[in-house]
Amino acid sequence: MAKYTEMSDEELALEIRDLRAEYRKYQGMNLNLNMSRGKPCKEQLDLSMGMMDTLNSEADMTCEDGTDCRNYGVLDGIHEAKVLIGDMMENNPDDIIIYGNSSLNVMYDTVSRAMTHGVMGSTPWCRLDKVKFLCPVPGYDRHFGITEYFGIENIPVPMSPTGPDMDMVEKMVAEDDAIKGIWCVPKYSNPQGYSYSDETVRRFARLKPAAKDFRIFWDNAYGIHHLYDMDQDYLIEILAECKRAGNPDLVYKFASTSKITFPGSGIAALASSPNNLVDIRNQLKHQTIGHDKVNQLRHVRFFGDIHGMVEHMKKHAAIIRPKFEAVEQIFEENLGGRGIGEWTKPKGGYFISFDSMDGCAKKIVAAAKKAGVTLTPAGATWPYGKDPHDSNIRIAPTYPTLEELKTAATLFTVCVRLVSAEKIAADRASTPVQVQQ
């Protein structure tokens, strides 16, 4: 297919005319589709309905150590939940704290605690003149939102298919003790679906931060969220690697079952070193008497063990894999070779990252919106919502039905083509023509 930039003015004008007609056709369809957030679809939610039967009124509500899960107590989670989530996170059950329904809330709490109480005895961050966080970009808007809310300066660091730019990360954390953390989605990253390479993980574990209270916020949100059974990304387990590297306290690792059972009604967890866990439990004992043990027990009884959970994830994959493949096929067919955009082809997670020509993302998202398809706002993948290239758009293919998704993805490509063609035409019109003498 022809590159748009190589088209003649006449060809481009014809293309724009055709695309406008096609776009108007979509506008006439009164669409109301949403590719904005990483939400499971109804069929995925139905996979976990069996969990609702695991604890009925006849159920034994005691856990293995005899604790009645209905009553108060057990601050950091019932043991069998730690075992299950430990297998899920690839961590020792003893290194895990089970929380409530939201790993985002655990991350928020972790930053909040550091603000008011520091990290393992360090000066509370709220007492420092300046606190900075590194934010691999494009990245997860809700991560950046937490640190922004606390007045922490979010500093973008470029992502690549192997992870963040580690030369930059190593240099910055070594030189600036105001840098207290970095947000990471190390596997099937949000939004690219990239997984950190072995070298990246090893370099993370060997960081030499100037700040003793620097921590890696390792949000392994998609650890077992593969699209394929064999063709999976593998991530070196960070806590073990940090331990081997002599930096055992460097990482807070987060995960949840939000996209395994029910978003908002799953269980979240944090894994970290014994030193960090002592620090955290000292807060936790003032914060709560304990999290929802009945829901922990419900999850354990439903899955049995990690094999049960892995088999369950295959059912998720069977539902959402065709959606990822449909988007990729539509993008390839409609955008391939035109030189107006690139997109990732993840093997897991919940997103596809799309990069338009510079200066087109906001217009593409606005055009899609006007035709009834909601996308994540352009810029959302950057700190403060400001993408300096105005090029990155996060595509979330899981929530719509396959048919809806195909419509939405096709419209999206129409918007990309139209906005890109119009931009190229406008750029040409505003550029003085080099007249051949």
Per CB under 8 A, the segment of 203-211, 216-224, 280-288, 360-368 that binds a second copy is: 280-288
Task: Please report how close the Cβ of residue 105 comes to a second copy at its closest, in angstroms.
Answer: 5
Residue 390 DSSP SS3: coil
Among 12, 19, 33, 55, binds a second copy (CB under 8 A): 55
The sheet with strand 392-395 has its strands ordered as: 341-343, 352-356, 392-395
By CB under 8 A, how many residues form the interface with a second copy? Answer: 54
Q: Is 95:281 a contact under the CB 8 Å cutoff? A: no
Q: Considering only residues 142, 206, 243, 321, which one is a binding residue for a second copy as defined by CB under 8 A?
A: 142
Rule CB under 8 A: choose which of 2, 52, 278, 426 binds a second copy. 52
Indicate the residue among 124 and 372 with the shorter CB distance to a second copy: 124
Handedness of CA 279, 283, 289, 292 (dihedral sign): negative
227 is a site residue for a second copy (CB under 8 A):
no
> x/- site string to a second copy, residues 100 to 139, per CB under 8 A?
xxx-xx--x---x--xx-------x-xx------------
Quick one: tokens of 16?
């724009």
DSSP state of 122: P
- 96 within 8 A of 276, measured Cβ to Cβ: no
By CB under 8 A, is residue 50 in contact with a second copy?
A: yes
Phi first, then psi: give them for residue 169, nearest 5 degrees: -60, -50
* 297-326 residues near a second copy, rule: CB under 8 A: none
Stretch that binds a second copy, among 43-51, 190-198, 220-228, 345-353 (CB under 8 A): 43-51
Tell me the two tokens of residue 157. Answer: 């660091």
Contact 382, 138 (CB under 8 A): yes
Q: Using the 8-state DSSP alphabet, how is residue 62 labeled?
A: B
Closest distance of CB 55 from a second copy, Å: 5
Residue 348 DSSP label: B
How big is the chain by its Cα radius of gyration, in Å? Answer: 24
Q: Which CA distances in Å does 168 have to 2, 86, 207, 377, 387?
A: 37, 32, 11, 28, 19
Position 372 contacts a second copy (CB under 8 A): no
162 binds a second copy (CB under 8 A): no
Please say which residue, 13 or 61, places its beta carbon nearer to a second copy. Answer: 61
- The residues that bridge with 252 in the sheet, in sequence order, are 217
83 lies in the site for a second copy, by CB under 8 A: no
Tell me which residues touch a second copy (CB under 8 A): 37, 39-40, 42, 45, 48-50, 52-53, 55-57, 59, 61, 68-73, 100-102, 104-105, 108, 112, 115-116, 124, 126-127, 142, 145-146, 149-150, 258, 262-265, 283, 286-295
